[in-house]
Amino acid sequence: MRKPQFIARQGRKPSGLLGHIVARIMAKETADENDFALALLRLQPEDAVLEIGCGHGDTLAKAAKLASRGLLCGVDFSPVMNRVATRRHRRLLAEKRLEFRLGSSDKLPFPDQSFDKVLAVHTIYFWKAPLDHLTETRRVMKPGGLFVLGFRPAEDPRFQATFPSEIYHIRPEIEIAQLASDAGFEAVELRKHTRGDVQFSFVMGTRA
Ligand SMILES: C[S@@+](CC[C@H](N)C(=O)[O-])C[C@H]1O[C@@H](n2cnc3c(N)ncnc32)[C@H](O)[C@@H]1O
């Protein structure tokens, strides 16, 4: 069944009381594919890690166990998500292992070449001009850095049928892989994962 626009808008940028509820549901629902993305990143203890569209922050908190001596940063443009993530991960924030920034992925609040590993899961649907966001992502990556972009692809017709196209820009995986190459990523690879009968695609690329 097609989701109403007000629910789809919450997926794009959670807000208000409903946004707090959506954040909690999202943290549970997307854990499996986020774990898969983390495994693809092959995190090392010293890695500096960025998550774009980090939402609830649970994925970064898991990453903190693997990148045990690195800095972990999350960026999200939803003030509600920023508040939720800050509350859920107070201890890691107090230990200065983690930081959550309010900001948009087309203007990341970080200097050039800051991160070894970057991930973004279920976020590309909301980028109208994805090349700008991907180029900006590459800017903040160190040479040799690895990027993992996770999403449900247009190849899954039920996903397209469920979410309104005015809010969710659902693209074929090959188009997203090409966008990553166009943004300057190298060694671009495609990986697939399924949860039950739901398909996920992951585009990986390095900054040479
Ligand atoms: C569907 S949620 C996914 C959250 C999390 N990555 C997960 O997989 O559970 C999308 C998140 O990306 C954020 N977001 C969407 N577009 C963004 C942008 N241009 N810049 C920063 N954050 C963005 C939203 O606020 C939301 O928290």
- H or E element at residue 188: strand 186-195
Nearest CA to ligand 1 atom 12: 53
Is residue 1 scored above 90 in pLDDT?
A: no
For residues 159 and 152, the answer to whether their CB atoms sit within 8 Å is yes
Q: What distance in Å separates the CA atoms of residue 36 and residue 107, rounded to the nearest whole number?
A: 27
- Cβ-count burial of 185 within 10 angstroms (0-12 exposed, 13-18 middle, 19+ buried)? buried
User: Separation of 59 CA from ligand 1 center, angstroms?
Assistant: 12
Q: What is the pLDDT of residues 95-129, one digit of tens each?
A: 999 999 999 999 999 999 999 999 999 999 999 99
The closest-lying atom of ligand 1 relative to the alpha carbon of residue 150 is 8
SS3 call for 192: strand
Average pLDDT across the chain, whole number: 97
CATH of the domain at 26: 3.40.50.150
Q: Give DSSP secondary structure letters for 91-158.
A: HHHHTTSEEEEE--TTS-SS-TT-EEEEEEES-GGG-SSHHHHHHHHHHTEEEEEEEEEEE--TT-HH
Is residue 2 scored above 90 in pLDDT?
A: no
Backbone angles phi, psi at 11, to 5 degrees: -65, -40
Query: Any residues with Cβ below 6 Å from ligand 1, and which?
Result: 11-14, 26, 30, 34, 53, 55, 75-78, 81, 104-105, 121-123, 126
Report how many domains make up the chain: 1
Distances 104 to 9, 62, 66 between C-alpha atoms, Å? 16, 23, 26
Is residue 182 scored above 90 in pLDDT?
A: yes
Q: What distance in Å separates the CA atoms of residue 99 and residue 18, rounded to the nearest whole number?
A: 24
Nearest CA to ligand 1 atom 27: 55
The closest-lying atom of ligand 1 relative to the alpha carbon of residue 78 is 25
Question: Which amino acid is residue 50, in one-letter code?
Answer: L
- For the chain, give the percent of residues with pLDDT over 90: 97
* The model's pTM: 0.97
Nearest CA to ligand 1 atom 24: 13
The closest-lying atom of ligand 1 relative to the alpha carbon of residue 31 is 9
User: Separation of 35 CA from ligand 1 center, angstroms?
Assistant: 16
Is residue 164 scored above 90 in pLDDT?
A: yes
Q: What is the pLDDT of residues 69-95, one digit of tens each?
A: 999 999 999 999 999 999 999 999 999
Average pLDDT over residues 142-170: 96
Is residue 28 scored above 90 in pLDDT?
A: yes
CB atoms within 10 A of CB 158: 11
Is residue 16 scored above 90 in pLDDT?
A: yes
Is residue 198 scored above 90 in pLDDT?
A: yes
Domain around 163: 5-206
